[in-house]
Amino acid sequence: MTGPVRLKTPLGGEVLSLRAGDAVTLSGIVYTARDEAHLAMMEKGIPFDPKGAAIYHCGPVVQDGKIISAGPTTSSRMNRLSEFLLDAGVRALIGKGGMGKEVVEQLRGRAVYLAFTGGCAALAASRMQLKGVHFEELGMAEAVWVIELDELPLIVGIDAHGGDLFGEVRKRAGEVFRKHG
Amino acid sequence: MCSGPTPAFLEKISRATLDAFRMAETRLPPDVIAALKKAAGQEQDARAKGELENILMNISLAEKLGVPLCQDTGVPVVYLTVPPYVPLTQEIYDAIADGVRSATKEVPLRPNTVDPLTRHNSGNNTGAGMPAIHVKPGDRFTITVLPKGAGAENMSRVAMMLPSQVKEIEKFVVETMLIAEGRPCPPVVLGVGIGGTFDGVTALAKEALLEPIDRMDPFEQQLCDAVNTLGIGPMGLGGKTTALAVKVKKAACHTASLPVAVNVQCWANRRHTVEVER
């Protein structure tokens, strides 16, 4: 058995060879963004180079210039808000809980969705260094924090070929429910 | 003529509120940790096991470092028991809000509380109706905090079912998790309220989350087993454990009604009680 695939931002075509279910680690810069940050970026422009970038669906706890606690937020809230980032060259979305069918299609041929265990915020923070911030006026939870990752372990939830771990689980759960319902 | 609580007592309440949030945010109750360990032992799927191992590692790390185990430190939900010798005044509510503001700075908590329409953030986790404070009479003055994260809260549901649908309560509970999938950070704890009124049933569902999860009555176990047939598993990546437990609270209701509410809680079923001495 081989170990996890080691990825580093900025990401390129290497993400296209990943498959749903693969274990990876991610190092380098990621940008946090939740609902308000997506809306602000749509209106005012993306305040960083989106080519090969990774977006982390996260609103961390920050104190005295340090990331204290920084697990993923529910990615599906960004289902309707992610296409412009992928169009601009973003190669990875990171979060929890998976994303909608429209995003599975938008990822196709260009980017992946990576899942981190929800709620594991102390664990995530132990692999992070704060490097900067954009849109700080949006508040701690909604600002775009610039974070350097040191080999954060992730699972490929949705690959660039339509493979979707969450979708498979959803389909099976639906079948069970209809059978017993 | 009855005088209000003394300044010293109010200061104690404020301090106890801060202490309760610090404990709840950085350490999970033993019954919740035991349930997560049990689930990790039962999962055979490597991915499901891996997710639970991450969760257990995170719990240890947060406790060791004294930091919030989840970055969503929630909105402040507070349950009080008030003994006969303490007059229930606005000052008590204010002292608790003061404790929430201190906790926001000192634990620290993420400022999560915003105006619902303007989305303006107060910066200190208080606002109109926040903290949400629920009061009952008791023998001692106790403060129980239940910081409630949004990922799970957003997946909660209420239904005004028909009296003829008692047998369909189970379906409603299971359907709630079918819709939620991995979004509320499973394995979840489900607080189920049955009966009472439209508003009261949701309060019952949340109160059910205060109950220990290391035991379930046969009905709760039946609901829990039914939810776990879905196979959603830890974080929605598949597995045996979608729910760690289901807890039910009931109230009498109108003969023509059957209110049912499901309050979804993430694996981080955070709660802590502190007593304030006279």
Q: Is A35 helix (H, G, I), strand (E, B) or coil?
A: helix
Residues on chain A touching B171 (C-beta within 8 angstroms): 181
Mean pLDDT of chain A: 97
pLDDT at A158 over 80: yes
Identify the band that residue B97 occupies on the pLDDT scale cut at 50, 70 and 90.
very high
B169 interfacial to chain A (CB closer than 8 Å): no
Identify the band that residue A93 occupies on the pLDDT scale cut at 50, 70 and 90.
very high
Amino acid B204: pLDDT: 98
Q: pLDDT digit string (tens) for B22-72?
A: 999 999 999 999 999 999 999 999 999 999 999 999 999 999 999 999 999
Chain A residue closest to B27 (CA)? A122
Q: Quick one: DSSP state of residue A60? A: -
Rounded average pLDDT over B247-274: 98
A 45-84 residues inside an 8 A Cβ radius of B: 58-61, 63, 68-71, 73-74, 76
> What amino acid is encoded at B199 in this protein?
D
Interface contact B110-A140, CB threshold 8 A:
yes
Helix B218-228 / helix B169-180 crossing angle, nearest 10 deg: 40
B127 interfacial to chain A (CB closer than 8 Å): no
Q: Is B21 helix (H, G, I), strand (E, B) or coil?
A: helix
Residues on chain B touching A37 (C-beta within 8 angstroms): none
- CB pairs below 8 Å between A and B: how many? 155
Identify the band that residue B1 occupies on the pLDDT scale cut at 50, 70 and 90.
very low
Residues on chain B touching A174 (C-beta within 8 angstroms): 178
Q: pLDDT digit string (tens) for B119-165?
A: 999 999 999 999 999 999 999 999 999 999 999 999 999 999 999 99
Amino acid A1: pLDDT: 53
Mean pLDDT of chain B: 97
Chain B residue closest to A165 (CA)? B237
A38 is annotated as an active-site residue: yes
Interface contact B70-A119, CB threshold 8 A:
yes
- Cβ atoms of residues B82 and B136 within 8 Å: yes
User: Which position among A38, A57, A134, A161 bears the catalytic label?
Assistant: A38
Residues on chain B touching A59 (C-beta within 8 angstroms): 71-72, 110
For A164, phi then psi, to 5°, come to -145, 105
Give CA–CA dist A139/A45, Å, rounded: 18
- Cβ atoms of residues A154 and A57 within 8 Å: no
Give CA–CA dist A153/B40, Å, rounded: 19
Q: Which of A125, A139, A157 sits opposite B121 (nearest CB)?
A: A139
Q: How far B87 CA lies from chain A's nearest CA (Å)?
A: 37
Region class of A64: left (phi > 0), else alpha (psi between -120 and 50), else beta: left
Q: Is B247 helix (H, G, I), strand (E, B) or coil?
A: strand
Interface contact A119-B112, CB threshold 8 A:
no
The model scores a pTM over 0.90: yes
- Cβ atoms of residues A119 and B55 within 8 Å: yes
Q: pLDDT digit string (tens) for B182-201?
A: 999 999 999 999 999 999 99
- Cβ atoms of residues B194 and B170 within 8 Å: no
pLDDT at A181 over 70: no
B27 interfacial to chain A (CB closer than 8 Å): no
Identify the band that residue B2 occupies on the pLDDT scale cut at 50, 70 and 90.
low
Q: pLDDT digit string (tens) for A2-49?
A: 789 999 999 999 999 999 999 999 999 999 999 999 999 999 999 999
Residues on chain B touching A157 (C-beta within 8 angstroms): 237
Q: pLDDT digit string (tens) for A55-91?
A: 999 999 999 999 999 999 999 999 999 999 999 999 9
Q: Angle at the Cα of B169 (from B158 to B150), degrees rounded to 5?
A: 35
**Per-residue DSSP letters for B71-111?**
S---B-EEEEEE-TTS---HHHHHHHHHHHHHHHHHTTPP-
| Dihedral (Cα; A138, A142, A145, A147), 10-degree rounding | 170
B55 interfacial to chain A (CB closer than 8 Å): yes
Tokens of A85: 């980032």
Amino acid B4: pLDDT: 84
Q: pLDDT digit string (tens) for B59-84?
A: 999 999 999 999 999 999 999 999 99
Interface contact B185-A173, CB threshold 8 A:
no
> What amino acid is encoded at B39 in this protein?
A
Cβ contacts of residue A14 below 8 Å, gap of 6+? A7
DSSP β-bridge partners for residue A93: A55, A113
pLDDT at A144 over 90: yes
Give CA–CA dist B218/B72, Å, rounded: 33
SS3 content of chain B, % helix, strand, coil (to 5): 40, 20, 35
B48 interfacial to chain A (CB closer than 8 Å): no
User: What CA–CA distances, in Å, run from A123 to A177, B14, B50, B80, B107?
Assistant: 34, 30, 14, 33, 17
- B6, with CB counted inside 10 A (0-12, 13-18, 19+), is exposed
> What amino acid is encoded at B78 in this protein?
V
